[in-house]
Structure 1
Amino acid sequence: MLPFFDILVIVIYFLLISGLGYYYSKRQKNTEDFFKGGQRIPFWAAGISIFGTALSPITFMAIPAKTYSTDWSYFLLNMSIFLSLPLVILLFIPYYREKKLNTPYEYLEIRFSSIIRLLGSCCFILYQIGRIGVVLFLPSIALNLVTGVDIFLCIALMGGVSLIYSLMGGIEAVIWTDVVQVFVLMGGVSLSLILIIIDTENGFSGIIEQAKINGKFNAFDLTLSLKEPTVWVMLFGGFFINLSTYGTDHTMVQRYLVTPSQKEAKKSLWMGALLTIPATFIFFFMGTALFVFYQVNPSALNNNFINNDAIFPWYIVSQLPSGVSGILIAAIFAAAMSSLSSSMNSGAASFSADVYDRYGFVWNKDPLKIARLTTLCIGMMGILFALFMATSDIKSLWDQFNKILGLIFGSLGGVFMLGLLTKKANTNGILIGIVVSFTIQLIISFQQSVHLLMYAATGMISCFVSGYLGSLLFKSK
């Protein structure tokens, strides 16, 4: 079990986050407040929330684990956001703001048809439910492994508290708790990095020297291959991943809609992107420092400990003093809860706007009550999915789930680009493009002919080309 001071730190953290939810619950008068925060969120808070939403606990643990076991090959993936950011600012944000859309999927009906809008929205909602489950499940495994805390308790705590403040305070509570959680998260990681540098022989220079000797800073593989994590895969694949994520994913788009103006929305995206730079260096160097630390101190690594994905949590609980380790465990919770609350609120926003309001369901005339009920349902389904994974001994479920839905979202990005960049694209062509793209994606994934990070690129390009040709051949009436 965790020491008393660690538990105390975590309890205080949960109480603080719940208190923020209660505070903002008093400002929720309608769905405009619940899903858009009354458009009173300053750009810097929205920008921090964009950054926090993108930084899941999987990333929190996976980046140090990846650099611990390999090198800096994936470094350019995070930097590729700056390649797609100009397009998002020029094409997507102005349209969403000028048309006063509630979700990006409204655009699909304006440009194509209600069927395409419903398809896009349903894919998004299902993905968010699955994402909630996985964001709860994977860090809970790591915490259970290194602390002994029951996995079901971890899932219940993270899921329950996230659901409570999302239900009470809507997107305002989500964004302002994101601000707190990003400070906890980055402060905790920075503190642990300082401590590991102090604890390592010869400090910072010693880490740099040992890392160079072991080739841990290799980041620029110029091999002409699309199967390995080369520079081309990181930049080209990353461009399409970020274009789809920041341009069409409502967990991100929602942040552009909560600021007072379009100018503020663009500044928020810049803010979120710029925060990626120092965060990437910190997380990558943390993994390198862990490698050097355990190379110098092999006895500090449990011989039975074979899961590299939990190397960072293991360092937290085995090397850091009580209280400090509590802050870092709270940081893992913070990374999870930032992503969880975003998925809950944005999923509910999409259902409310794209399904409930669009198709005229009137069994309850209180939109705010429907918004909260939908948030509750999506949150509970995600929590139940996490509990199901915890009891089913399914290790590869997330890989398959993420692969299939990743293929779908690659195609969906192509749909948006067809609408924004061409005048001749129509519903018939779009449906053809989605089917052809998804078929091509499945073939590519089964044959493993390209790296996983290329799926967004192949999906978007194949959908764009086949969708455009289909539109020319089968014109809508």
Structure 2
Amino acid sequence: MNAFDWLVFAVYFGAVVAFAWHQSRKNQGVEGFFLANRRLGWGAIGLSVMATQASAITYIGTTGQAFDDGMEFVQFYLGQPIAMVILCVVFVPFFYRSKVFTAYEYLERRFDAKTRSLTSFLFLVSRGLAAGIVLYAPAIVLSAIMGWDERVTILVMGLITVAYTIMGGITAVIWTDVLQMIVMLAGIAIAIAVLFATLPDGVGVGDVAYIGGIHEMWRSIDLSWDPTNRYTLWSGLIGGLFLALGYFGTDQSQVQRYLTARSLRESRLSLIFNAFVKVPMQIFILAIGVLLYVFYHFERPPLVFNSAEAALVRESPRASDFSALETEHERTHELRREATLDLLAARRAGDDLWGLQGRIAGYDDELEQLRDASKALVSEVRGSSSNDVNYVFPSYLIAYVPAGILGLLIAVIFAAAMSSLDSELTALSSATVIDFYRRYVKPEGTDAHYLLVSRLATFAWGGFAVLFALYAGQLGSLVEAVNEIGSIFYGALLGVFLLAFLMKRATAAGAFYGLIFSMITVLIVSRATEIAWLWYNVVGTAAVLLVGMALRGPEPPESAAAAR
């Protein structure tokens, strides 16, 4: 980044923080800190809900995912619009009318204190781990751009975000999300435009679509019923539906958003907005990854996208082996580049394409083998596994994006990171203070006291996120890691809330023991089978409902009378 990039970045960052701080001055007490005094409209909430989910992982991890596997990940989102409609009809009215601070507070009213505490505890564990992954994602960008050690970058980003969240509360978070979501949407369009601009002269939209097509990178629907296949139409529509219901319907980081609305109608509209906008947004972000794949048919990609890992190997006793791999990688890439240009020329001339396509496929296999060999070499040198999929997009930004635009796109990634991490921290803090501290430690504290404890809890969870972020780099694709962690927990949480909302005869024992049984079941399934992680949400929900049905209470007297 040059001085102009830094100026663009600084102006954007300063404007967002100043605006958010101005908005946060309207907060009053704990309700203001956690729920913005329940006075926000659907537009701001809807953009905040999107921004909370669209973290830096979305830009870094999803583009890297598409670079490796194409558009198939879009199936993960297909159940989300259906989930939003169900949430508007079933979940939101219960939460909004009960005037709770947290989703889990409602469960004590419906069941008992131990069910509330266990669900809140599971949320704290799952979302605390996810916050660490969210923090690690922008650290990748900073470390790549400035040459900093990732640990230093994580500490710097963590301190800045924690300080900002402690000062502003939920109002600052939501209004920051609004501006950042607008910038993120603009950033998607800019990234796509820049990618097309950096392609060789004469290579147009049709050529990009064709090259991606012959490699099956645009293929987005898999009709297989194989439960071990991670992304299929059915895992997305069924497993993705259950995951979306669990995330948006039971995760405090999302429920907290629509509890800030000034009316039930505004809460519902914020979710309907997401139902229409989220999937198209993800399609465009995945398309960036496919465009990167096509772009690197013409420009030589790094053998290892993580420049720090490449430097580590070059300074090791295995440097000569790595150099030999790089030489072979350069030679094979040049052959593929020439074959790709020949293919496009033959396509325009109407000549036979099968032979050229076969040559390119052979070069693809060779390059993939070289990539695998380089990853194995890096893993051997560093003593731990290597997966550089999260460095694909940052590497492109640094090498090819013009000054000024680079600063803006880096700001987009920071916007995504801030809009998720600050949301996680406010949700973690609210669950800690409301569900545990106020419930068990100091039930009769003053509003000022709870506000102080809320800020201390925010600081503590920020520290936990930093510690876990130091480990997150070993988890592979970040977008998969954060959703896989959530899928361990969301089925159980969703099952308990479905018992609360839909089963009049559900008992506290059924909910509590169903929750425990569900977590054990999902952990066994995740360790003992090859079932894809999206299905964990279905398994977890079914396990809770099974126990809930087995331990249901007697039929209410009025129902029995009606039956007679």
What is the TM-score when the length of structure 2 is the normalising length?
Answer: 0.78
Give the CA deviation at 1:359: 2.5
- Alpha-carbon distance in 2 for matches of 1:137, 1:18: 21
In 2 relative to 1, CA 171–3 (structure 1 residues): closer, same or farther, beyond 3 Å? same
Cα–Cα, structure 1 residues 394 and 42, in superposed 2: closer, same or farther, change >3 Å? same
Q: Please give the secondary structure, in 1, of the residue aligned with 2:72.
A: coil
The answer to which of 370-379 and 86-95 deviates more is: 370-379
Report the residue type matching 1:48 in the other structure: L
Name the structure 1 match of 2:460: 377
Structure 1: distance between partners of 2:156 and 2:273: 30
Counterpart-to-counterpart distance in 2, 1:285 and 1:28: 40
Partner of 2:234: 232
1:267-291 Cα offsets, whole Å, 9 max, x none, are 0111223221331121121111111
Is contact 2:47-2:181 (8 Å) kept?
A: yes
What per-residue deviation string (whole Å, max 9, x for no partner) do you get for residues 182-231 of structure 1?
12222222101111112224222221121112211111211221111221
Where structure 2 has 5 or more consecutive residues not aligned to the other structure, the ranges are 306-370, 372-387, 555-564
CA 1:269–1:184 in 2, change beyond 3 Å: closer, same or farther? same
Q: What pairs up with 1:139-288 in 2 under 5 angstroms?
A: 139-145=138-144, 147-201=146-200, 202-228=203-229, 229-288=231-290
Taking the aligned partners of 2:400 and 2:456, their CA distance within structure 1 comes to: 43
How far the C-alpha of 1:88 sits from its partner, in A, is: 0.5
In the TM superposition, what is the alpha-carbon distance from 1:395 to its structure 2 partner? 4.7
Q: Which amino acid aligns with 1:98?
A: R
Match of 1:368 in 2: 451
Deviates more, 1:374-383 or 1:61-70: 374-383
Call closer, same or farther: CA 1:68–1:385 in 2, change over 3 Å: closer
User: Shift in Å at residue 344 of structure 1?
Assistant: 0.9
Sequence identity (%)? 31
Correspondence for 1:447? 528
Quick check: 1:57–1:139 contact (8 Å CA) kept in 2? Answer: yes
Partner of 2:508: 427
**Structure 1 runs of 4+ with >6 Å offset:** 396-402
Map 1:246-395; keep pairs closer than 5 Å: 246-297=248-299, 299=300, 301-305=301-305, 307-359=388-440, 361=442, 365=446, 366=448, 367-386=450-469, 388-389=470-471, 395=475
Q: Quick one: distance in 2 between partners of 1:396 and 1:67? A: 14
**CA 1:396–1:224 in structure 2 vs 1: closer, same or farther (change >3 Å)?**
closer
Checking the alignment, whether the CA contact within 8 Å between 1:21 and 1:166 is kept in structure 2 is no
Shift of 1:419: 1.4
Aligned residues of 2:126 and 2:485 also touching (Cα < 8 A): no
Q: Deviations over 1:78-129 (max 9, x none)?
A: 2311121121111110111111111110111111100010111122223332
Secondary structure in structure 1 of the residue aligned to 2:296: helix
State yes or no: 1:99 paired with 2:71. no
The TM-score with structure 1 as length reference comes to 0.92
Q: How far 1:55 sits from its partner (Å)?
A: 0.8
Letter in structure 2 aligned against 1:114: A
Letter in 2 for 1:339: S
Residues 147 and 317 in structure 1, CA contact (< 8 A), matched pair in contact too: no
- 3-state SS of the aligned residue for 1:449? coil
Moved more, 285-294 or 148-157: 148-157
TM-superposed CA distance for 1:402, in Å, is: 6.9
1:26 shift after superposition: 2.4
Name structure 1 gaps, 5 residues minimum: none
- Would you say how many aligned residue pairs link Structure 1 and Structure 2? 468
CA contact (8 A) 2:65 2:477 kept: no
Report the Cα distance in structure 1 between the residues aligned to 2:95 and 2:438, rounded to whole angstroms: 18
- Answer whether contact 2:36 2:170 (CA < 8 A) is retained: yes
Change (3 A) 1:401 1:188: closer
